[in-house]
């Protein structure tokens, strides 16, 4: 694990998942325990209309590492992350959605990527993005991708990485928008399973309330020069059609907001703090 003394905040936004919440949490807890590092599990109830809140409170009474945060009404995934980050206490932050069949055993693999360091720049990976497995590329897209890779090879002199799975037409269009507008090279910017070092998130102001937050975080980390890695997941579901996030996308593109880095003020000198001597 990366610097074993570092702790982990695991964020789990939920909405109307009374019947499945206990199963989802019980899948993550053994893996979190096996990491043998300090951790906290923040369940963010996004204004659920069923008994999700009560179910979450039951889980928190059984495990003191579980904390519950709640919105009075549904506000979206981005708003949940904003609330959870304000309450988190650990230097490594991971989040995942509760509405997808993620494989909890992928978590140690993503954490392992945080250990990667570039031998030339000395920079260490600060962001790890999950890549959903998806389905096999259709024949037509295989041919187009082969032509595109040869184009990159001839014009730029290197082989472009092959696609790691087909996530559907809407996700494909979304990838191109993120590539053109934000310069993102990662293969699955919309994935809801990621890890960040807190030092990166402290520089980012989350503007998206909805699902564009997943790409927003990557785009802003990319702008800040953060070193990023991507890991193909063992997820068990073909992703559903992506929601329309164009409104939030253009909002971030036209006016991206960041926070200033935290600078520790220099301690005052003894001379400056001392009272004038009586004459």
- For 189-205, the pLDDT digits (tens) are 999 999 999 999 999 99
Model pLDDT, residue 263? 59
With bands split at pLDDT 50, 70 and 90, how would you rate the model's confidence at 158?
confident
Span of 82-91, 221-230, 235-244 with lowest mean pLDDT: 235-244
With bands split at pLDDT 50, 70 and 90, how would you rate the model's confidence at 270?
very low
Model pLDDT, residue 143? 86
pLDDT at 278 over 60: no
Higher pLDDT, 20 or 279: 20
Percent of the chain with pLDDT over 70: 92
Residues written for the chain: 279
Q: Calculate Rg over the CA atoms of the chain.
A: 21
- Summarize the confidence of residues 56-76 as an average pLDDT: 97
- Summarize the confidence of residues 265-276 as an average pLDDT: 41
Structural class in CATH, domain 8-132+167-256: alpha beta
* Region of 76 on the Ramachandran plot (φ > 0 left; ψ -120 to 50 alpha; else beta): left
- Summarize the confidence of residues 144-161 as an average pLDDT: 83
- Summarize the confidence of residues 250-258 as an average pLDDT: 97
With bands split at pLDDT 50, 70 and 90, how would you rate the model's confidence at 275?
very low
Using alpha carbons, list the distances in angstroms from residue 196 to 57, 95, 175, 187: 27, 9, 20, 17
Residue 229 to residue 115: CA distance in whole angstroms? 11
Longest dimension (CA), the chain: 92
For the chain, give every domain's residue range: 8-132+167-256
Continuous segment of H or E residues that includes residue 92: strand 92-96
Sheet of strand 193-197, all strands in order from the earlier edge strand to the far edge: 66-71, 39-46, 8-14, 92-96, 193-197, 125-131, 227-232
Global pTM?
0.88
Model pLDDT, residue 51? 96
pLDDT at 2 over 60: no
With bands split at pLDDT 50, 70 and 90, how would you rate the model's confidence at 109?
very high
């Amino acid at each position: 694990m990366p610097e074993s003394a570092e702790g982990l905040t695991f964020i789990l936004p939920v909405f109307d998942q009374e019947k499945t919440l206990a199963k989802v949490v019980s899948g993550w807890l053994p893996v979190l325990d096996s990491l043998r590092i300090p951790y906290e599990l923040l369940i963010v109830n996004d204004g659920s209309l069923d008994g999700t809140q009560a179910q979450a409170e039951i889980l928190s009474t059984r495990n003191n590492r579980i904390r519950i945060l709640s919105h009075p009404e549904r506000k979206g995934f981005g708003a949940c992350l904003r609330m959870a980050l304000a309450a988190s206490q650990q230097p490594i932050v991971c989040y995942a959605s509760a509405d997808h069949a993620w494989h909890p055993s992928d978590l140690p693999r993503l954490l392992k990527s945080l250990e990667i360091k570039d031998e030339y720049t000395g920079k260490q990976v600060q962001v790890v993005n999950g890549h959903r497995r998806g389905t096999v590329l259709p024949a037509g897209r295989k041919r187009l991708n082969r032509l595109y890779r040869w184009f990159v090879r001839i014009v730029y002199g290197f082989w472009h990485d092959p696609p790691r799975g087909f996530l559907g037409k809407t996700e494909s269009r979304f990838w191109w928008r993120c590539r053109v507008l934000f310069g993102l090279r990662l293969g699955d910017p919309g994935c809801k399973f990621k890890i960040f070092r807190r030092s990166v998130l402290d520089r980012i102001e989350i503007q998206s309330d909805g699902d564009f937050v997943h790409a927003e975080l990557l785009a802003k980390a990319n702008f800040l020069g953060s070193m990023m890695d991507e890991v193909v997941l063992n997820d068990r579901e073909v992703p559903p059609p992506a929601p329309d996030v164009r409104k939030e996308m253009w909002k971030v593109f036209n006016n991206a907001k960041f926070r200033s880095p935290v600078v520790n003020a220099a301690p005052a000198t003894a001379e400056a703090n001392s009272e004038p001597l009586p004459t």
